[in-house]
Copies of this chain bind each other. A is one copy, B any other.
Amino acid sequence: MKRRDLLKGGILAGALSLLPQGVAQGAPQNLPSLGRRYRNLIVFVYDGFSWEDYAVAQAYARRRLGRVLALERLLARYPNGLVNTYSLTSYVTESSAAANAMSCGVKTVNGGLAIHADGTPLKPFFAAAKEAGKAVGLVTTTTVTHATPAGFVVSNPDRNAEERIAEQYLAFGAEVYLGGGDRFFNAEKRQDKKDLYAAFAQAGYGVVRTPEDLARSNASRLLGVFYDGHVPYEVDRRFQGVKVPSLKEMVQAALPRLASYRNGFVLQVEAGRIDHANHINDPAATLWDVLAADETLELLTAFVDRNPDTLLLVVSDHATGVGGLYGAGRSYLESSVGIDLLEAQKASFEHMRRLLGNSPDPAQVKEAYRAMKGVTLTDEEAERVVRAIRDRVPWPEGVRQGVQPDNTMAWAMAQRNAAKPDRPNIGYSSGQHTASPVVLALYGQGLRLFSLGLVDNTHVFRLMGEALGVRYQNPVMSEEEALEILKGRPQAVRHPEDVWA
């Protein structure tokens, strides 16, 4: 099928071209250049972070915490721009295609890691950096084998093959891996019963499993895995006593180790669960993960100040959910109440579900919302939550938000009173990723007046390459080729976003 035919086509899902014909010469080719080199590179990914999340965190930090976000200071004073995030065949990307665009510099189909739809592997940027002698670190609040970190180091047609990705990590041999995902390393939990912890230890890694072990370890190479799956949300760590390290604590452990390497390092830090909280429409979980990211950002900018041969690149891979603080009351004069009411939210829905188990009664549900969300549910709302948890019946009106029990838990506390907000006036457009451009910001010596503008996410690859002097080109696939391959494919494999959805 030729491009012309594609453009002529009718309304066929996924069958039309993302890019117009004949406007190549008019299309923005915005390729801003750094104009200088760095020894170290830190890429800080805010996963699933929208401008609405930014506004809520900025307001909460100012009003309830009496401080200005490190990210606000960065956006005000240093080069920043916007990133277009669409993948090769979809205006809405998922996290692996977004990671690939940044890590490999080419657009791919949603779903695989550093690979094209026809199986052509791509070289991820951190693999190239390693060949150039850089130490490598991955630190995340998701499973350490999740798409965003994994897409920077290894190639795999299935981003969900996390047991296999754990083995690829061993072979890859980064200096630091920190995050969640015990089930992909632990012999008792893995399908194949391989003991990956033993294998990493044998390869010279210090293996740590608790915040205390992390703080105590003096190993120069480190595998830290702190939870069965994703690392619990900051709101639960901070207020519910869940024992995991914070993102900042993990980065504090990673930095001195990486900085000790003579040739410099590359480090990806991911605030990975902003995305998950937004899939679930859980504003407090999002807020505190953004605030935890901000404390980490403060640490990273301080590191750059002490190590001016370091470039810090802050970027989001896509927006999720778009939870906006919206106007409330006459002339919107009561809008700030949403920020204040957030203060009473002291746990995530994920944590509430752990406490409520699989068949709570409505009274338990109401008490959990009262104590942990500061919200009084009606009997009907509580009953809906029970049915979602016990019988897996999602609230039908909220299906756009997702069909997981947690989505119904979020929908149950949505504002019902337009005149007088008694629940946080934060609304979500869906429980999915969206198409909006997202943040890109740089921090490093010599960049103060640098202008970025709107760039494609593939340009992150070029900025990283320029920063370290590591340049190469991965093979490009056209959208037409990709669509042909997708047509011949059976139903796409399940992805985490489908679970969240």
Contact = CB atoms under 8 A, between A and B. Distances in A.
Interface of A: 7, 11-14, 16-23, 26-30, 50-52, 54-56, 58-59, 61-63, 65-68, 72-73, 75-82, 84, 86-87, 89-94, 109-111, 319, 322-341, 343-344, 396-400, 402-403, 414-418, 421, 425-430, 432-437, 448-451, 453-455, 486, 491-495, 497-498, 501
A26 B435 contact: no
Contact of A432 (B61, B79, B332, B454): B332
Q: Is the interface of A mostly helix, strand, loop or mixed?
A: loop
Nearest to A7: B66
A14 B341 CA distance: 12
A93 B332 CA distance: 7
A20 B67 contact: yes
A224 B66 CA distance: 49
Contacts of A16: 63, 336, 340
Nearest to A85: B55
A434 B11 contact: no
A491 to B, nearest CB: 6
A16 B1 CA distance: 61
A21 B325 contact: no
B455 A326 contact: no
A322 B52 contact: yes
B337 A11 contact: yes
Contacts of A52: 319, 322, 429, 434-436
B110 A20 contact: no
A86 B87 CA distance: 33
Contact of A336 (B90, B325, B334, B495): B90
Given A77-B28, A325-B92, A68 B332 contact: no
Contact of A333 (B14, B335, B402, B454): B14
A326 B110 CA distance: 14
Contacts of A28: 68, 72-73, 75-77
A88 to B, nearest CB: 10
Most B CB contacts (10 A, CB to CB) among A78, A92, A332, A493 go to: A332
Given A75-B454, A331-B498, 4 more contacts: A11-B344, A28-B76, A91-B325, A326-B434
A495 B430 contact: no
Contacts of A434: 52, 55, 324-327
B491 A335 contact: no
A335 B90 contact: yes
Contacts of A332: 87, 90, 92-94, 110, 432-433, 497
A72 B19 CA distance: 13
A400 B427 contact: yes
A90 B437 contact: no
Given A62-B19, A82-B75, A110-B331, A324 B90 contact: no
A93 B433 CA distance: 26
A94 B331 contact: yes
A75 B84 CA distance: 11
A429 to B, nearest CB: 4
Contacts of A50: 51, 436
Nearest to A58: B84
